[in-house]
Amino acid sequence: MEINYLLEGSGENTIVFIHGLSDNLYYWQRLSFELSKDYKVLSYDLRGHGSSPYAPFTMDDLADDLHDLLLSLDIAKASLVGLSLGGNLALLFALKYPQMVEKLVIMSSFSQVDNNLRLKFEEFKTAIEKSYEDFYDVIIEYVLPEDILNENREALEFYKKEAAMSANPKAIENGIDIGVDFYVTDKLKCLNHPALILAGRDDEITHIDLSWILNENIENSQLIIFENTKHNLLIKRNMAEIIKILREFL
C-alpha cells in the first residue's frame, strides 16, 4: 500500500496518531503541533482516507499497514493515540505487535459492539450508501454537542461540501463493516501496556459503558471522562486539558 503520512518533531520517543472513520491525518493537527515540540509525531491516512488510495481492508490489513509504515520509517517502538476506528486499530495493533507499542491512548472507542452501536452502524451505512453528504448530516449530530453545532452551522456546511469532493464512500462503508464485527474484549487481559482511555460523557455512538469495559479489562489503565462532550473529544473547550493529560501520560 501507498500510505500518506506526516512525520514531525525530533524527540527520542514517537507518538503515532490514528484517525477515525471518514477523517484524515489533519484531524490531529492541533495536538501534533503541540506534541511535536517534544516528541517525534507520526500522523497518517488510513486506506481510502485523505490522500491514501483505497483497497478493500480488514482490521488486520490496517494493523499490517501501520506495522509496515513504522518499519519503513525505522520506528521500532511508539505510543499509539487512536480515536474511534483508530482506537480499535490501536488495540489490535498492540495485541498483534506488542513489542512495538510503548503506551496506548484510546479515545471514544470500543472493544465490542453493543446494541446501541450496532444500530448507529446501520444508520451510518444506510446514509453512506446514499451519499457522503447524507452520511455527514447523520453523523455530525452525534459527533458534536448542540452548542457547537448551533454556533458553527455555516462553517460545518462549508466543510461538508469541501470534504465531499475527496471523500471515498467505499472506504467509509468498508470501515463501518469491519467496525460491526470488531471484538477483542476477551484478549484485553493480555495487554501489558499502560493505557489511557478518554471518553465523552454524552457520546451517543460509543456509549460510556463501552469505555468502562475497556477500563475494567485492561489491567494497567485509567479512564478520564469529559463532560458536555460527545464523540469528538477534540473540541475547543477540551483541548488544553487533553494536551496536558497527554503530556503527563506520555
The pTM of the full predicted model, rounded to 2 decimals, is 0.97
CA distance 148 to 50: 24
Domain enclosing residue 36, as ranges: 5-113+183-249
Residue at 150 is within a domain:
no
What is the CATH number for 66?
Answer: 3.40.50.1820
Question: Which residue is listed with cell 501520560?
Answer: 249
Residue at 151 is within a domain:
no
For the stretch 186-202, pLDDT in tens is 999 999 999 999 999 99
Q: What mean pLDDT is reported for the chain?
A: 97
Residue at 52 is within a domain:
yes
Pairing state between β 101-107 and 195-200: parallel
Q: What ranges make up the beta strands (E) of 108-218?
A: 195-200
Residue at 148 is within a domain:
no
Residue at 135 is within a domain:
no
Q: How many domains does the chain have?
A: 1
pLDDT at 206: 98
pLDDT at 229: 98
Residue at 178 is within a domain:
no
Across the chain, which distance is largest between two alpha carbons, in Å?
A: 46
Q: What ranges make up the beta strands (E) of the chain?
A: 5-8, 14-18, 40-44, 78-83, 101-107, 195-200, 221-226
For the stretch 103-143, pLDDT in tens is 999 999 999 999 999 999 999 999 999 999 999 999 999 99
pLDDT at 110: 98
Secondary structure (H, E, C), 45-100: CCCCCCCCCCCCCCHHHHHHHHHHHHHHCCCCCEEEEEECHHHHHHHHHHHHCHHH
Residue at 222 is within a domain:
yes
Residue at 196 is within a domain:
yes
Mean pLDDT for 13-25 is 98
CA distance 218 to 157: 39
Mean pLDDT for 68-81 is 98
